[in-house]
Amino acid sequence: MPFELVNTELPDVKLVQPKLFHDDRGYFTETYRNSDFKKIGIERDFKQDNQSFSLKGTLRGLHFQNPPYAQGKLVRVVKGSILDVGVDIRHDSPTFGKYVMRELSEDNHLMLWVPEGFAHGFLALQDSIVLYKATSEYNRESEGGFIWNDESVNIKWPDINKIISEKDFQFPDLAHINSKFHYGANL
């Protein structure tokens, strides 16, 4: 199998380690194969691919889309490094408001699976190019988010100068978001 699935502190958020095949030219890796992802338990049909470039210190998030346009995201870095975060925003979930944070980089090749029902964000530790697959197309009316420094979630962001959009500064705290996600509901 070209992928290894690694559990995180939150049962639904997974770390995916692709297998690298090295030779004297460099390496080759598969970053996605539908049949293999289904075998490791990520049974989704991806509808959109996104790429962003972020200067060092850029913090994007924490974003989500409500059903019926909820997005699960498979995130990876092709240049640079980020701290990638998924936060459980499902009402009545035993892990509501808890988060997973992992470093994803061009060197470690890790991918983070952030399923529907979780807000997503990241901080660029270097100038970085981030690619992610999404299970639904972007829909402005379904878009939501909460403030990156919400004290109730207490994400341990590093103490570096952050570049944050005006839109991301305007988000409410977690207690006041319009999340339509419920624990145990099928999306």
What is the predicted pLDDT for the residue at 187?
Answer: 58
Q: Which has more pLDDT, 2 or 130? A: 130
175: left (phi over 0), alpha (psi -120 to 50) or beta: alpha
Per-residue pLDDT of 54-80, as tens digits, reads 999 999 999 999 999 999 999 999 999
Does residue 22 carry a catalytic annotation?
Answer: no
Note the Cα 106 to chain centre separation in Å: 16
Fold of 3-176: Jelly Rolls (2.60.120)
Q: Which pLDDT band, with edges at 50, 70 and 90, does 179 fall under?
A: confident
Q: Which pLDDT band, with edges at 50, 70 and 90, does 186 fall under?
A: low
Does residue 63 carry a catalytic annotation?
Answer: yes
CB contact set of 101 (below 8 Å; sequence gap of 6+): 83, 84, 85, 155, 156
DSSP state of 20: P
Per-residue pLDDT of 1-39, as tens digits, reads 788 899 999 999 999 999 999 999 999 988 898 898 998
Show the tokens assigned to 166. Answer: 């005006």
Collapsing DSSP states into helix, strand and coil, what is residue 37?
helix
Which one from 32, 99, 132, 183 is the annotated catalytic residue?
Answer: 132
Domain borders along the chain are 3-176
CA distance 85 to 98: 10
pTM of the model: 0.94
Per-residue pLDDT of 73-119, as tens digits, reads 999 999 999 999 999 999 999 999 999 999 999 999 999 999 999 99
Q: Measure Cα distances from 95 to 13, 91, 138 in Å.
A: 11, 9, 26
What is the predicted pLDDT for the residue at 40?
Answer: 87
How is 63-123 classified by DSSP, letter by letter? EEE-TTS---EEEEEEESEEEEEEEE--BT-TTTT-EEEEEEETTT--EEEE-TTEEEEEE
Which one from 27, 32, 63, 109 is the annotated catalytic residue?
Answer: 63
CA distance 51 to 57: 17
